A and B are shown apart, each in its own frame.
Chain A
Amino acid sequence: MTREAALRIRDELRGILLALLMVAVTTVIALGLIEYFGVRRGSALYLIPVMLAGWHLGLVPALVAAVAGVLWSGYLFFSPFYTYFLARPNEILNLTLFMVVGLVTSHLASQAKRQTELARRRENEMSDLYAFSRRLASAPAAAEIYLAIEEYVANLVQRNVVLYEASSDGSLDNHTVPAEMRAALAEIQRGSIPATTIEDGNGNSWFMRRVSQRTPDFGVIAIDLGRAGKDMMAETRQRLDEALSDAAATLERLDVARTLTEAKMRSETELLREALIGSVSHELRTPLASILGAATVLTQSPVIARDERLKSLSSVVRDEAERLNNDIQNLLDATRISRGQVKPRMEWIEPQDIVNSALERRQRRLSGHSIAIAMDRNLPLIYVDPVLVEQAFVQVVDNAAKYSPPGSTITVAAQRNGHDVVLSVNDTGAGLTRDELARLGERFFRGSRHAGLASGSGLGLWIAKAFVVANGGRLQAESQGVDQGTTVSIHLPLSEHAPPPEAYPDD
């Protein structure tokens, strides 16, 4: 006899004992009613333990309760009282009827209970399935789906479930698989058999099938059926098929998601690269500050100032260190932009203050060019982050100086144009083709014609554009064509709340 059968018999015996106990309690109550109230027609009382036993304990205890109830009511309620002897034929009929009612009642009760239980289990299964499909639908990655399948199936069959994922080359990751199952797993994976049930070394049965019947990519699922064997499987097989076809469809959908995962990995690489640029740039700036500072001391020291060659050499060190510093600053700015760390601190500012500050900053670099300045006298105040806009304008100025020949004129202007204040830089240099115009402001874009003309990273105008856009403005470039010069302008919208210049009397 198996252990499970023994358990079932023990449960049944417990039920019978409880049923008899309830009959006994009913008898005590019946005796009380007879003695103190003179009740003589109380056999219906015994329907109560029958129904209770039918509902809670099952059919066999109910039958036992019915038989015991008939015997007791024959003894107590049918004359001659306190004997099992029945005097009149109609009483025999009564008792028989009672017995039939008792049996039917107990049967109905146990039936109703089974129905209720079934309905409840269905409901649970439905809600599990619903939760499962919702989890599948929202699964961000295949690993999450595998976990969901494992948990759902394990819950469904109340058994140990193992999923063997297929690795990228299509072979199964099977080093944890018991040796006996390996061959069967491989066969299922190849698709030569759709599903199988085998026994492992410990006498447990395992049901195995591919997660998807269409592709081996999603691996094989194995369910430990224990010693119950195939019978157990029959009832859950269909639901398992349903669940797995759902899961397989989601996994197929996730092939799209696999691409997404790769894209995410790429963007993480990008982040890493930017973090690297950021920290390297900081590391470079410290020694650069010493080099630049030392170079400025050298250029001004009397010993070197007396010797033209030494003076020009120390100027080279100073100027190149400055240029390197600007390049590093550009890298840092680019990193800041990519990370979304550009946060403008808006304030009211005179547009020409921005232009003047940028020209002051680039005084030395612009010394080889002739600078023409055209600024409107009474420009309205603008509401921007002056530091960011100045940095953008410096980039535009740098660009003009870089792509126009020494000695040529660079015209810097600040003007009002409709609802914008326009800060512009015009040069008479290399100009731009239509294609170059369209691509200007892309990150790392450098016109191929310019590669030999000037050094640069192609970051400058991209940074300028980002800073201007952060201030609600736009960057615009115009050129009549190659060698026709270029005008790059920064358009900054006037704030609707601009304070009128005369709003504040002198005192």
Chain B
Amino acid sequence: MTEPSPVVLVVDDEVQIRRFLRAGLELDGFVVQDAETGADALKWVTLKQPDLIILDLGLPDMDGGDVLERLRAWSSVPTIVLSVRSNEAEKVRLIQGGADDYVVKPFGMAELLARAHAAMRRQVRASSGEPTVKAGPLTIDLAARIVTLNGQRVMMTPKEYKLLQILAQHAGNVVTHQYLLKEVWGSPHMHDTHYLRIFVRKLRQKIEEDPTQPRILLTELGIGYRLAIPETPKPMMQ
């Protein structure tokens, strides 16, 4: 292996959860570091910059949201939160608070890894200035502002492109309605979700094979949208 293994910090007080996360992440090539409390996690992050943080929200010493807030004050390390179902408002709040994505407990390892890799790729893209994002048959060239579908150029209005661009910058991770509305239409329209719905419908007609069953521009109910990127399966380590 030429590249150094990425380091992931797992912050969870449940020992069994940490055990399977460690197993799954190590199989995927990560070097895993544990923290049981929010204080431990913050201390560890200041000492060594990890490549990824997996953060459980129910920590014994402090709320996961507070850990995230303090972390984001100085670090942009990709962070995935472990959430519980039936609280969409909380998920939205966490993502707006700087989480790159979430998975809902109980979750499968594949789902967590997909979210984690997407968040890490975004970090790499941001630092390396990699200009194109591929989502299945769709290619978005962020530098040239050109969208192609199966090699064919797709014509878009500036707002449609803006929407797609934001999703592409977060490819694989969820982007909240509020963020998209604010970026594309401006703050006064932060809660006009129907703007988004209609725009996404038009966008899907341009980029999806079957707009009623989208494969690229996916809806996260109650939260936002996600640009699906094909997983690049890594050979598992033995």
Chain A residues whose C-beta falls within 8 Å of the C-beta of B105 in the assembled complex: 285, 289
**Are B109 and A387 in contact, with the CB atoms below 8 A?**
no
Chain B residues whose C-beta falls within 8 Å of the C-beta of A354 in the assembled complex: 221
Residue among B109, B177, B198 making CB contact with A504, cutoff 8 Å: B198
Interface status of B126 (Cβ within 8 A of chain A) = no
Other A-B pairs beyond A294-B20, A347-B193, 16, CB < 8 Å: A286-B14, A290-B20, A293-B17, A293-B108, A302-B27, A302-B238, A348-B194, A356-B214, A357-B219, A377-B212, A387-B88, A504-B195, A504-B199, A506-B157, A506-B159, A507-B157
Interface status of B24 (Cβ within 8 A of chain A) = yes
For B87, give the chain A residue with the smallest CB separation. A387
Instruction: Classify chain B: how many residues form its interface, as a range.
Output: 35 or more
Residue among A297, A349, A507 making CB contact with B24, cutoff 8 Å: A297
Report the bound CA distance from A373 to B213 in whole Å. Answer: 9
**Are B27 and A301 in contact, with the CB atoms below 8 A?**
yes
Interface status of B19 (Cβ within 8 A of chain A) = yes
Chain A contacts with B in 477-507, Cβ cutoff 8 A: 499, 501, 503-504, 506-507
Residue among A289, A303, A387 making CB contact with B106, cutoff 8 Å: A289
For B111, give the chain A residue with the smallest CB separation. A296
Produce 1/0 per residue, A281-314, CB < 8 A to B.
0000111111011101100111100000000000
**Are A349 and B197 in contact, with the CB atoms below 8 A?**
yes
Known: A288-B106, A329-B85. A345 touches B212 (CB 8 A): no
Interface status of A386 (Cβ within 8 A of chain B) = yes
Report the bound CA distance from A300 to B27 in whole Å. Answer: 9
Report the bound CA distance from A381 to B195 in whole Å. Answer: 11
**Are A287 and B222 in contact, with the CB atoms below 8 A?**
no
Report the bound CA distance from A148 to B142 in whole Å. Answer: 82
Report the bound CA distance from A299 to B44 in whole Å. Answer: 32
Interface status of A404 (Cβ within 8 A of chain B) = no
10 contacts between A and B (CB under 8 A): A296-B110, A297-B109, A321-B106, A325-B106, A347-B193, A348-B194, A350-B197, A352-B212, A414-B212, A503-B198
Interface status of B211 (Cβ within 8 A of chain A) = yes
Quote the shortest CB–CB distance from B84 to chain A (angstroms).
Answer: 8
Interface status of B23 (Cβ within 8 A of chain A) = yes
**Are B193 and A293 in contact, with the CB atoms below 8 A?**
no
Interface status of A165 (Cβ within 8 A of chain B) = no
Chain A contacts with B in 324-365, Cβ cutoff 8 A: 325, 329, 345, 347-350, 352-354, 356-357
Interface status of B166 (Cβ within 8 A of chain A) = no
Chain A residues whose C-beta falls within 8 Å of the C-beta of B158 in the assembled complex: 507
Report the bound CA distance from A303 to B17 in whole Å. Answer: 21
Quote the shortest CB–CB distance from B117 to chain A (angstroms).
Answer: 14
Interface status of A375 (Cβ within 8 A of chain B) = yes
Quote the shortest CB–CB distance from B81 to chain A (angstroms).
Answer: 14
Chain B residues whose C-beta falls within 8 Å of the C-beta of A385 in the assembled complex: 222
Interface of A toward B, CB cutoff 8 Å? 285-290, 292-294, 296-297, 300-303, 318, 321-322, 325, 329, 345, 347-350, 352-354, 356-357, 373, 375-377, 381, 385-387, 390, 414, 499, 501, 503-504, 506-507
Chain B residues whose C-beta falls within 8 Å of the C-beta of A303 in the assembled complex: 238
Q: Name the prevailing secondary structure of the A interface residues.
A: helix
Interface of B toward A, CB cutoff 8 Å? 14, 16-17, 19-21, 23-24, 27, 85-86, 88-89, 105-110, 157-160, 177, 193-195, 197-202, 211-214, 219, 221-222, 236, 238
Chain A residues whose C-beta falls within 8 Å of the C-beta of B20 in the assembled complex: 290, 293-294, 297
For B14, give the chain A residue with the smallest CB separation. A286
**Are A506 and B106 in contact, with the CB atoms below 8 A?**
no
Residue among A293, A302, A377 making CB contact with B107, cutoff 8 Å: A293
**Are B27 and A350 in contact, with the CB atoms below 8 A?**
no
* CB < 8 Å A-B pair total: 118
Chain A residues whose C-beta falls within 8 Å of the C-beta of B214 in the assembled complex: 356
Residue among A287, A375, A377 making CB contact with B16, cutoff 8 Å: A287
Chain B residues whose C-beta falls within 8 Å of the C-beta of A301 in the assembled complex: 23, 27, 236
**Are B211 and A377 in contact, with the CB atoms below 8 A?**
yes
For A506, give the chain B residue with the smallest CB separation. B157
Residue among B16, B159, B236 making CB contact with A507, cutoff 8 Å: B159
**Are B236 and A293 in contact, with the CB atoms below 8 A?**
no
**Are B201 and A501 in contact, with the CB atoms below 8 A?**
yes
The 9 A-B residue pairs whose C-beta atoms are closest, nearest first, are: A290-B16, A296-B108, A289-B106, A348-B194, A506-B157, A294-B20, A297-B24, A353-B219, A292-B106
Known: A293-B20, A301-B236. A350 touches B201 (CB 8 A): yes
Report the bound CA distance from A504 to B197 in whole Å. Answer: 11
Known: A357-B219, A387-B222, A506-B160. A348 touches B24 (CB 8 A): no
Quote the shortest CB–CB distance from A470 to chain B (angstroms).
Answer: 13
Quote the shortest CB–CB distance from B158 to chain A (angstroms).
Answer: 6
**Are B213 and A352 in contact, with the CB atoms below 8 A?**
yes
**Are B197 and A348 in contact, with the CB atoms below 8 A?**
yes
**Are A347 and B222 in contact, with the CB atoms below 8 A?**
yes
Report the bound CA distance from A503 to B213 in whole Å. Answer: 24
Chain A residues whose C-beta falls within 8 Å of the C-beta of B199 in the assembled complex: 504
Report the bound CA distance from A385 to B193 in whole Å. Answer: 13
Report the bound CA distance from A373 to B214 in whole Å. Answer: 13
For B89, give the chain A residue with the smallest CB separation. A345
Quote the shortest CB–CB distance from B21 to chain A (angstroms).
Answer: 7
Known: A348-B193, A506-B157. A293 touches B24 (CB 8 A): yes
**Are A296 and B109 in contact, with the CB atoms below 8 A?**
yes
Quote the shortest CB–CB distance from A505 to chain B (angstroms).
Answer: 9
Report the bound CA distance from A373 to B85 in whole Å. Answer: 27
**Are A381 and B17 in contact, with the CB atoms below 8 A?**
no
For A385, give the chain B residue with the smallest CB separation. B222
Quote the shortest CB–CB distance from A343 to chain B (angstroms).
Answer: 11
Quote the shortest CB–CB distance from B151 to chain A (angstroms).
Answer: 24
For B205, give the chain A residue with the smallest CB separation. A377
Quote the shortest CB–CB distance from A287 to chain B (angstroms).
Answer: 7
**Are B221 and A357 in contact, with the CB atoms below 8 A?**
yes
Report the bound CA distance from A246 to B116 in whole Å. Answer: 76
Chain A residues whose C-beta falls within 8 Å of the C-beta of B236 in the assembled complex: 300-302
Chain B residues whose C-beta falls within 8 Å of the C-beta of A350 in the assembled complex: 197, 200-201, 219
For A360, give the chain B residue with the smallest CB separation. B218
**Are B109 and A300 in contact, with the CB atoms below 8 A?**
yes
Chain B residues whose C-beta falls within 8 Å of the C-beta of A325 in the assembled complex: 106
Quote the shortest CB–CB distance from B168 to chain A (angstroms).
Answer: 19
For A328, give the chain B residue with the smallest CB separation. B106
Chain B residues whose C-beta falls within 8 Å of the C-beta of A377 in the assembled complex: 211-212
For A282, give the chain B residue with the smallest CB separation. B84
For B104, give the chain A residue with the smallest CB separation. A289
Chain B residues whose C-beta falls within 8 Å of the C-beta of A345 in the assembled complex: 88-89, 222
For A377, give the chain B residue with the smallest CB separation. B212
Report the bound CA distance from A381 to B23 in whole Å. Answer: 44
For A329, give the chain B residue with the smallest CB separation. B85
